[in-house]
Amino acid sequence: MQKFSYVIKDEVGIHARPAGLLVKEAKKYESTIQIVKDSKSAVATKLMAVMGLGVKCGDTVEVEVEGPDEAAAFEGIKAFFESNL
């Protein structure tokens, strides 16, 4: 498993549209991508669960990637966070 933590910079946090884009990105990979905020976690391919985390600007999230295409998924998702969130 590979993981990274990230501080959200987008003013409104992971709101509807970025969450939608995140889901699209996550669906490209076979690996399971988990977003963890405090004690809650959500699988990145599930839109409502991701929105349900209520991630706001300034929050730190842990992103865990595990599966066959782990390395590619890790890079892809990390780049997504950096340029969109």
Partner 1 sequence: MVKFLGKSVYKGIAIGPVHVLKKEEQKVKRNKTEDPEKEIEKVGQAVLQAQQQLQKLYDKALKEVGETSAAIFEVHQMMLEDEDYLDAIHNMIRTELVGAEYAVAVTGDNFSQMFAGMDDDYMRARAADVKDISNRLIQCLSGQDGSDFAFEEPSIIVADDLSPSETVQMDKEKILAFVTVHGSANSHTSILARMMNIPALIGVPLDLSQIRSGMKAVVDGMQGEVVFEPDEGVCEEAANKLAKEKEKLHLLQELKGKENVTLGGKHVHVYANIGGVGDVGYVLENDAGGIGLFRSEFLYLGREDFPTEEEQLQAYRQVLQTMGEKKVIIRTLDIGADKQVDYFHLGKEENPALGYRAIRICLKQPDIFKTQLRALFRATVYGNLSIMYPMITSTEEVARIFEIVEEVKTELAKAQIPFKDPEQGIMIETPAAVMIGDELAQMVDFFSIGTNDLTQYTLAIDRQNEKLDDFYNPHHKAILKMIQMVVDSAHKYGKWAGICGELGGDLELTEEFVKMGVDELSVSPSLILPLRKRIRELS
Q: Is 76 exposed, middle or buried (0-12, 13-18, 19+ CB in 10 A)?
A: middle
Q: Which of 32, 36, 41, 47 binds partner 1 (CB under 8 A)?
A: 47
Q: Which of 51, 63, 73, 77 binds partner 1 (CB under 8 A)?
A: 51
Nearest to 49 by CA among 61, 40, 38: 40
**Is residue 56 part of the contact set for partner 1 (CB under 8 A)?**
yes
Active site includes 15? yes
Which of 2, 4, 6, 15 is flagged as catalytic?
Answer: 15
**Is residue 23 part of the contact set for partner 1 (CB under 8 A)?**
yes
Q: Which of 1, 3, 52, 69 binds partner 1 (CB under 8 A)?
A: 52
Asked if 57 and 8 touch (Cβ cutoff 8 Å), the reply is yes
Q: Cα(28)–Cα(11) distance, rounded to whole angstroms?
A: 26
Name the residue nearer to partner 1 (CB basis): 20 or 68: 20
